Structure 1
Amino acid sequence: MDSGLRERLIDAGVELVTGEGSAALGLREIARRAGVSHGAPRRYFPTHHALLSAIARRGFGELGSRIPAALAGPGAEDPRGQVRALGRVYVGYALERPGMFELMFRHDLLDGSGRDGTVETPGAAGAAGAPEAPLRESTLPMFELLVSLVARCRTEGEPRITAAALWANLHGAAQLWSRGSLPLALGGDPEVTLDRVVDAAVDAHLRP
């Protein structure tokens, strides 16, 4: 198997989802963009879901690569400041890469039903023919980081529940902002930025 072609298919998918959104990620179009026959993806990705999962993993990799620098910035010694920085990176990525962001959290790819890359995938990372980890595994390191930061803030309640509620808040804020609903509700005030919404969400969940 040609691992270079496998990566080219993923590259084509990343380009497509970035430019046209997740709805455009058909097998034929990805193959056309990669310059191969429409049947070629099946040699590397047994299902359409397996290919979409590989594309989404690129998104988690991109998002994850931005986190260390953000956490090392101003306020790095303060866990609450790090939670704010993590939240800003998260919603910033959502606005910059909306198509990829939507793909990364599609339930049918995350649910672990066997359609999401938990199949034998020749040319995958590691030994040829080794099964890839479920896509949901890509979300766990980021969430565990958030849980650890919330715990360091010594907030009341269970850190995992608080982190889950904050994550849901940030995810919803990103989606509502990108679709124009939050700016509309806030009266289009140019002084109200998404960063301020993120800070308010963090303060609401991490009480003194």
Structure 2
Amino acid sequence: MHTDDGLRARLVRIGGELVDRAGPSAVSLREIARCAGVSHGAPRRYFPTHLELLSAIAREGYADLAAMADAALSQAPGDPRTRLSVLVRAYLDFAITRPGRYELMFRHDLLASGHLRLRDASLPLFQLLTELVAQARPNLEPSAQVVAGALWANLHGIAQLWQWGSLPLATGATDPDALLDTALTAHLGPAT
């Protein structure tokens, strides 16, 4: 017999694995219940709606992305530009290796739903990006927050277009590092 918290966590983990394997559209409460070996009604005790379950999976994705970023940054030298480079690479690596979860994490319907305060879970990584931008370019105009937002939008575009195969096809690139370096330079200016 599973504890309530244990079963809830297991349902989220299994749902996340399904999202990673088959994409968000493949995830249903019934399919998660089947994979978890519980009755088809069991997930509804923890997630009354499909959006609540997807929000829990997305929240776990933000925690996983934050852990990846922290691990990568713990190995990075102290200068802000290098740390930014490491952070954006970790972000892209997450997007490429877990495309279903990445897609789910940025779905507007989930962020707007308010379930599990998902929008709040997305903010710490953006705050870190903003802090590193401010450190890399202390007197930046427009503000570091606006530049970080533009950089994040650029990274999101690189992640999506790389995942779809459009950027490798258009640029001939076999690795996105040059694109990431170019995005940093476009938003921060040349490295000094």
Q: Trace 1:1-208 onto structure 2 (pairs within 5 A).
A: 2-74=4-76, 76-111=77-112, 113-114=113-114, 117=115, 132=116, 134-154=117-137, 155-186=140-171, 188-190=172-174, 193-208=175-190
Task: Give the superposition deviation at 1:156.
Answer: 3.2
Q: Distance in 2 between matches of 1:167 and 1:158?
A: 14
1:170 to 1:189, Cα distance in 2 relative to 1, 3 A: closer
Structure having the higher helix fraction is 2
Q: Distance in 2 between matches of 1:8 and 1:94?
A: 23
Q: Tell me which amino acid in the other structure corresponds to 2:79.
A: D
Residues 73-101 of structure 1: per-residue CA shift (max 9 Å, x gap) = 34x22111111111000011100001110
Q: Distance in 2 between matches of 1:69 and 1:174?
A: 20
Q: Distance in 2 between matches of 1:198 and 1:138?
A: 24
- Count of residues in Structure 1 that have an aligned counterpart in Structure 2: 186
Percent of residue pairs identical: 56
Q: Tell me which amino acid in the other structure corresponds to 1:200.
A: T
| Partner residue in 2 for 1:120 | none
Q: Distance in 2 between matches of 1:69 and 1:99?
A: 22
TM-score (normalizing by structure 1):
0.85
SS at match of 1:139: helix
Task: Give the superposition deviation at 1:176.
Answer: 0.0
Backbone CA RMSD of aligned residues = 1.4
Q: Distance in 1 between matches of 2:47 and 2:6?
A: 14
Q: Distance in 1 between matches of 2:15 and 2:98?
A: 13
Q: Tell me which amino acid in the other structure corresponds to 2:90.
A: V
Task: Give the superposition deviation at 1:157.
Answer: 2.0
Residues 26-83 of structure 1: per-residue CA shift (max 9 Å, x gap) = 1111111111121111111121111111111111111111112322334x22111111
Task: Give the superposition deviation at 1:189.
Answer: 4.2
SS at match of 2:48: coil
TM-score (normalizing by structure 2):
0.92
Q: Distance in 2 between matches of 1:195 and 1:62?
A: 22
Q: Distance in 2 between matches of 1:70 and 1:49?
A: 31
Q: Structure 2: where are the runs of 5+ without partners?
A: none
